[in-house]
């Protein structure tokens, strides 16, 4: 696969804090793919994605986003992607519409079209009754939806989400999953970390299992089963087996 | 556990919380700093005895019966203390309503809520009074040393005034809740807290300027006109002053009145305290029903950033109250300026340092909010524009805001004294840039809601910002009156800025 045909190509990515958090990680995500990154706590999922999003500087390695070298030209790379963290960071004193207007402005989106898109997004996420309320009284789920709408309003080609379903109720989680699936159907690429293996199993085209800062297994669910010689097992059992092997090593 | 034991236990719990909140405020939440903070505080208290001696030392020999002028000065001082304590108490009450996270726990526990909240009200009163006693100690100490043990009565007066201020603050806040709702109460209470204390001094200054053309608030208090309209020395109005001088009857009445007021407030408001606190915790900003969906505004990415910053600044209650206070402090010099149109008085020179000082301090607050107080740092960091441009847009917001606030005053000054206006403009600009630079050098990642405690996060930045504003204010005043000295003062202030930069995390 050429770097241009991949949404994300990471090679030899390394980041050390007191110990290696990400240890020479290689990862390729195809354009138009829903990729789930799963792994135990402290495996390096968030650190990897924060480096991809430009929030952390890697100690070593290369990151290419749609063929753009994200370390050489971070502005061009950021233009085509969006980042949603597990802790939604929005402005308490802005309304959802004002927040989306700000995000559109930051990404330089045509205001005529983004206004319409923003309203549609917020309505589709069930926030219509709250369009003109300031976010300060919002629940965690509502805040997460506003942050997600902010990530989608500039129509990014690649969306990176770190545990986006944490703290969401079943209805909100379903809304979010539906929106992400729709995004992928329309050709977008989604990379998501999650602890909810059932979500990864049901939504992802491919799953990467990360442990101790490295990808230890990768592929579709069927491929993962095949690789591990367990043809009729759940992702949860596979995951435990893979992580156990890695920690024993 | 008996009811009395439960209440005593809850009182201890409340006092421990109040103590830890206070400790956290002075140590910026770092427990390892506790010892250093207490030593620093003790040193500060010791040093405060010097200005206290300068201010109240001459009154230590006062003996009853007092003349009207002395009674007016003492009563005004007690009223000013009461206003300051009221301001502090409103702030404390608001914090208890909005920031305490233990409401669900208390409400779900098998205790009588009215009694528990009575204890909470008493704890607020006690913490406000303790703070007032702490601040009053250097002044009363000086009176004790110079004038004898009879001045111990002043401590009781401070306690009585503290109790009544706390009771009034609780009543005001709960009545505001009923009248205007929890969301607006927060804003109004913060503004009230900011302006009440300053308002008293400013009113005296305004009266002094209008009547005597001077900024001295004592001019009004010690004037013949004030003495002429003041009640007779045996009037009840002078009860606090007589109590402060050690009159046992007056002292008892004042203390009883403070306790009675607090008792009434506890009785009337503690049953409503729970409802009020629940409303505050559950507050949501009401929707503007039927608000028009307007199209998004265009412009560059920096414009989007600036628009967002301006919008957030406009909606920041702490900033509004602080700005309002700064503007209130500018009212007396503005009035002095207005009087100077028909006057050749040199007093107009005083305006320059006041403006420069206010601009420097306000710029520091604005810069902290825009640069450090970014609530969505990851969103901004992942946006496709260079970090330098983000910082530039934020600095532009600070400069534009300062220009909008101070330009009218400088323009008015230019009408009276063009050269002074030019020096003031330059100094405002330098003070603003200095405060902004300090905030840049000492930037930290924080939430906007931490603005009130920004001073505790870096003492060095706080002192550098304060001394830079004072330094540039002094330099500007000297530039008009004594240019040679201004060069030295300017160099010293620049040296201080250089030292701050050398010590800043930005350089390391």
Checking if the pLDDT of B285 tops 60, the result is no
Checking if the pLDDT of B287 tops 50, the result is no
CB–CB of A75 and B384 under 8 A?
yes
Distance (Å, whole) CA B153 – CA B246: 5
**Residues contacting B44, CB < 8 A, separation 6+:** none
Q: What would the pLDDT profile of B10-68 be if each residue is shown by its tens digit? A: 888 888 877 877 777 777 666 666 777 788 888 888 888 888 888 788 888 877 777 88
Provide the pLDDT for residue B257. Answer: 94
CB–CB of A111 and B296 under 8 A?
yes
Interchain contact A186–B (C-beta under 8 A): no
Distance (Å, whole) CA A146 – CA A97: 9
The percent of residues in chain A predicted with pLDDT above 90, rounded, is: 46
Number of continuous H segments (helices) and E segments (strands) in chain A: 9, 10
Cis preceding-peptide flag for B65 (omega within 30 of 0):
yes
Mean pLDDT across chain B, nearest whole number?
82
Provide the pLDDT for residue B427. Answer: 96
Is 0.80 topped by the overall pTM? no
> A132 phi and psi, to 5 degrees?
-110, 15
Checking if the pLDDT of B289 tops 50, the result is no
The closest CB to that of B375, out of A54, A89, A101, belongs to A89
Provide the pLDDT for residue A169. Answer: 80
How many other C-beta atoms can be found within 10 angstroms of the C-beta atom of residue B15? 16
Q: What would the pLDDT profile of B207-217 be if each residue is shown by its tens digit? A: 777 776 666 66
Provide the pLDDT for residue B407. Answer: 94
For B36-50, letters b (16+ CB in 10 Å) and e give: ebeeeeeeeeeebbe
Query: Which chain A residues are closer than 8 Å to B305 by Cβ?
Result: 102, 105-106
Provide the pLDDT for residue B373. Answer: 87
pLDDT band at A245 (very low <50, low <70, confident <90, very high): low
Q: Which of A114, A179, A190, A119 is nearest to A157 (CA)?
A: A190
pLDDT band at A192 (very low <50, low <70, confident <90, very high): very high
Would you tell me which residues 131-170 of chain A have a C-beta closer than 8 angstroms to some C-beta of chain B?
131-134, 136-137, 147, 150
Query: Which chain A residues are closer than 8 Å to B307 by Cβ?
Result: 102, 105
Distance from CA of B379 to the nearest CA of A (A): 7
Least confident of B28-37, B278-287, B380-389: B278-287
Q: Which of the two residues, B121 and A162, has the higher pLDDT score? A: A162
**Residues contacting B72, CB < 8 A, separation 6+:** B221, B222, B226, B227, B230
CB–CB of B285 and A136 under 8 A?
yes
The mean pLDDT of B288-311, rounded to a whole number, is 79
Q: Which of the two residues, A105 and B344, has the higher pLDDT score? A: A105
Q: Which of A214, A170, A186, A220 is nearest to A200 (CA)?
A: A220
Provide the pLDDT for residue B215. Answer: 62
In order, the DSSP letters of B281-342 are: HT--PPP-TT---PPPP---HHHHHHHHHHHHHHT-HHHHHHHHHHHHHHHHHHHHHHHGGG
Distance (Å, whole) CA B217 – CA B206: 8
Interchain contact A225–B (C-beta under 8 A): no
Provide the pLDDT for residue B30. Answer: 64
Q: What would the pLDDT profile of A117-150 be if each residue is shown by its tens digit? A: 899 999 988 888 888 888 887 888 888 899 999 9
User: From B298, which residue of chain A is nearest by alpha-carbon distance?
Assistant: A111
Distance (Å, whole) CA A239 – CA B2: 55
Checking if the pLDDT of A19 tops 80, the result is yes
**Residues contacting B310, CB < 8 A, separation 6+:** B397, B401
Q: What would the pLDDT profile of B410-462 be if each residue is shown by its tens digit? A: 998 898 888 899 999 999 999 999 999 999 999 888 888 777 667 666 778 88
Residue A28 near residue A198 (C-beta atoms within 8 A): no
Distance (Å, whole) CA B434 – CA B362: 12
pLDDT band at A1 (very low <50, low <70, confident <90, very high): low
Query: Which chain B residues are closer than 8 Å to A137 by Cβ?
Result: 283-285
């Amino acid at each position: 696969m050429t770097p241009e045909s991949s949404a994300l190509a990471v090679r030899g990515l390394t980041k050390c804090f007191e110990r290696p958090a990400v240890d020479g990680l290689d990862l390729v995500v195809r354009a138009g793919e829903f990729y789930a990154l799963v792994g135990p706590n402290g495996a390096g999922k968030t650190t990897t994605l924060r480096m991809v999003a430009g929030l952390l500087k890697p100690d070593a390695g290369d990151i290419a986003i749609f063929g753009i070298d994200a370390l050489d030209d971070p502005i061009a790379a950021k233009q085509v992607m969006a980042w949603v963290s597990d802790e939604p960071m929005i402005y308490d004193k802005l309304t959802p519409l004002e927040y989306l207007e700000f995000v559109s402005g930051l990404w330089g989106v045509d205001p005529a079209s983004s206004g319409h898109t923003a309203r549609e997004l917020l309505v589709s996420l069930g926030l219509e009754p709250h369009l003109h309320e300031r976010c300060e009284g919002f629940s965690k789920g509502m805040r997460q939806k506003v942050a997600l709408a902010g990530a989608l309003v500039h129509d990014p080609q690649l969306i990176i989400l770190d545990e986006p379903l944490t703290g969401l109720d079943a209805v909100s989680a379903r809304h979010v999953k539906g929106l992400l699936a729709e995004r992928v159907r329309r050709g977008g690429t989604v990379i998501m970390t999650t602890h909810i293996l059932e979500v990864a199993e049901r939504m992802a085209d491919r799953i990467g299992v990360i442990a101790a800062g490295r990808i230890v297994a990768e592929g579709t669910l069927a491929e993962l089963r095949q690789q591990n010689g367990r043809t009729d097992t759940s992702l949860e059992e596979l995951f435990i087996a893979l992580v156990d092997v890695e920690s024993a090593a | 556990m008996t009811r009395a034991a439960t209440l005593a236990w809850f009182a201890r719990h409340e006092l421990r919380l109040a103590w830890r909140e206070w400790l956290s405020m002075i140590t910026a939440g770092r427990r390892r700093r506790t010892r250093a903070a207490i030593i620093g505080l003790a040193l500060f208290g010791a040093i405060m005895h010097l200005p206290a001696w300068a201010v109240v030392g001459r009154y230590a020999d006062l003996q009853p019966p007092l003349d009207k002028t002395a009674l007016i000065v003492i009563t005004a001082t007690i009223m000013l203390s009461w206003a300051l304590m009221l301001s502090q108490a409103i702030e404390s009450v608001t914090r208890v309503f909005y920031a305490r996270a233990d409401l669900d726990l208390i409400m779900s526990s098998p205790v009588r809520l009215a009694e528990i909240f009575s204890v909470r009200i008493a704890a607020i009163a006690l913490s406000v009074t303790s703070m007032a006693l702490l601040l009053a100690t250097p002044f009363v100490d000086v009176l004790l040393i110079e004038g004898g043990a009879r001045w111990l009565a002043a401590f009781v007066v401070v306690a009585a005034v503290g109790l009544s201020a706390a009771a009034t603050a609780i009543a005001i806040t709960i009545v505001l809740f009923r009248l205007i709702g929890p969301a607006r109460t927060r804003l109004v209470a913060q503004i009230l807290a900011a302006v009440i204390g300053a308002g008293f001094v400013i009113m005296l200054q305004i009266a002094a300027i209008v009547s005597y053309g001077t900024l001295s608030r004592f001019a009004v208090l010690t004037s013949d006109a004030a003495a002429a309209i003041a009640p007779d020395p045996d009037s009840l109005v002078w009860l606090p002053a007589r109590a402060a001088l050690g009159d046992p009857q007056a002292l008892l009445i004042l203390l009883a009145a403070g306790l009675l007021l607090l008792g009434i407030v506890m009785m009337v408001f503690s049953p409503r305290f729970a409802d009020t606190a629940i409303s505050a915790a559950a507050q949501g900003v009401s929707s503007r029903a039927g608000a028009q969906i307007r199209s998004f505004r265009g412009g560059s990415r920096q414009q989007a950033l600036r628009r967002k910053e301006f919008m957030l600044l406009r909606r920041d209650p702490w900033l509004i109250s602080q700005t309002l206070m700064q503007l209130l402090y500018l009212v007396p010099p503005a009035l002095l300026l207005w009087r100077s149109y028909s006057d050749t008085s040199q007093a107009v020179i005083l305006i320059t340092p006041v403006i420069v000082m206010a601009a420097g301090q306000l710029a520091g607050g604005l810069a902290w909010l825009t640069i450090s107080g970014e609530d969505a740092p990851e969103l901004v960091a992942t946006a496709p524009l260079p970090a330098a441009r983000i910082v530039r847009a934020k600095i532009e917001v600070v400069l534009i805001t300062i220009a909008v606030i101070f330009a009218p005053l400088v323009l008015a000054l230019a009408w009276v004294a063009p050269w002074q206006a030019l020096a003031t403009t330059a100094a405002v600009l330098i003070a603003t840039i200095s405060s902004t630079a300090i905030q840049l050098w000492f930037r930290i990642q924080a939430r906007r809601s931490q603005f009130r405690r920004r001073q505790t996060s870096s003492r060095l930045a706080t002192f550098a910002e304060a001394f830079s504003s004072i330094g540039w204010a002094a330099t500007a005043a000297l530039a008009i009156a004594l240019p040679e000295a201004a060069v030295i003062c300017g160099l010293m202030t620049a040296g201080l800025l250089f030292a701050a930069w050398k010590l800043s995390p930005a350089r390391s």
